[in-house]
Homo-oligomer: A and B are copies of this chain.
Amino acid sequence: MSAQTPQFVELDGRVLPAARATISVFDRGLLYGDGLFETLRAYHGKPFTLDEHVARLQASARLLGIGFPRKAWRRSIEILLKRNHLDDAWVRITLTRGAGRPGPLPVGRQRPTVLITTGRLDPAIAPAQRRGVRVTLVAFSRSGFLGEHKVLGFLPSVLGKVIAKRHHTFEAIFVNGEGYLTEGTTSNIFLWQRGRLITPPVDGILPGLTRRLVIRAAAADGIPVAERPLAPHELREGDEAFLTSSLVEIVPIVGVDAQAIGDGEVGPRTRRLQDLYRQMVDQGLGRR
C-alpha cells in the first residue's frame, strides 16, 4: 500500500473527505483490534478478484461473529476510485465489530463499521517486478492462532516492514518458532527448486488470493506445485523465488540480504509466471 492519503473515503456508506472521516474512540476495531481488512488491487478503475476478497472477509467475519453488511461493494469501490481520480490503485476494506460498551466481551449487537479507502500504488512496485528485490528474514511471525485471518492486529507485519526498511530490502519474511519460512509481512512466498514450485502450506498463515491464482496458473501450465514447510537454507539455495500479493502481484526475489539467490538475476520461470498472471488480469480471469 502506498504513499498518498486519498482525498475521499467511504465510511458506513457515505463518501467523505478524508479529513472529516472519523470513528468513535469506542470503536472495537481501535480498542481491541476487533475487526478485519482486505487489500486489493484495481486496474483501470475496476477492482480485481473483488468477489474472492469479499468472500474471504465474510468467512472470517462469520468466524469472529462480526456482522457482515449487505453492500454493493463493487459499485462503492468504483465510485470511490472515480471520485479520487484513481485508475490503477490499491483498495482497502476495513470492517470492525463497531462501537460498543467498553470491555473485551462484545455485549449486545453492534453495528459494524465499514470503511473503504483507496490510494495510488507504491511507485517501488513496478521496478521491483522488473528487476527483482532482496528480502530480509526475521525470527518472528504473525502465524499461529488467527494467522489465517486478516485481522486488524498487524503489528508483526508493521515491525517486519520496519526491519526490512532498515536493511534496505523490499520485504521481510517471517521465520516461525520451528525455524520455517511462513510468509512475507504482506505477501506469500514461492520457491523454484529443480523445476518444481514450492510454497509453505496455509497453516496459520494468510491464504493469499494471488497465491491461489499462481498455484492455479502453474498447475494449468503443467508445473508441479508442492505446499510444504520451507527452510531458510532452501530459499538461499533455490533456483528462483518470488513474492505474491494482490498489490505487488509477482515480485521476483533475487537475494536474501547480501546473498544472491541463483545467479542474482530474475529467472525465466518467474518471468513466465508474471506473464501468465498478467494474462489473467487482462482477461479478467480470477474474477468470478
Interface positions of A (Cβ within 8 A of B): 1-6, 9, 11, 18-19, 21-34, 37, 64-65, 90, 92, 94, 96, 101-107, 115, 117, 119, 122, 140-142, 144-146, 151-159, 161-162, 165, 177, 185-186
Contacts and interface: CB of A to CB of B under 8 A. Distances in A.
Given A64-B155, A64-B159, A158-B105, A21 B18 contact: no
Given A22-B25, A31-B152, A153-B153, 18 more contacts: A3-B101, A3-B102, A4-B101, A11-B25, A21-B25, A22-B24, A25-B94, A26-B117, A28-B158, A33-B155, A64-B159, A104-B154, A104-B161, A105-B158, A105-B162, A144-B144, A146-B155, A152-B155
A17 to B, nearest CB: 11
B102 A119 contact: yes
Which of A92, A141, A144, A155 counts the most chain B CB atoms within 10 A?
A155
5 contacts: A5-B101, A90-B102, A102-B119, A103-B161, A141-B145
Nearest to A118: B102
Contacts of A145: 140-142, 156
Contacts of A25: 9, 11, 18, 21-23, 94, 115, 117
Contact of A24 (B21, B29, B94, B156): B21
A19 to B, nearest CB: 8
Per assembly, the copies of the chain total: 2
Given A103-B3, A104-B161, A155 B32 contact: yes
A186 to B, nearest CB: 6
B33 A26 contact: no
A122 B102 CA distance: 10
Contacts of A6: 102
B117 A103 contact: no
A101 to B, nearest CB: 6
Which of A27, A31, A96 counts the most chain B CB atoms within 10 A?
A31
Contacts of A11: 25
Which of A22, A30, A92, A177 counts the most chain B CB atoms within 10 A?
A30
A162 B65 contact: yes
A122 to B, nearest CB: 7
A32 B96 CA distance: 12
A34 to B, nearest CB: 5
Given A2-B102, A155-B146, A162-B105, A30 B26 contact: no
A102 B30 contact: no
B105 A32 contact: no
Contact of A105 (B29, B64, B107, B161): B161
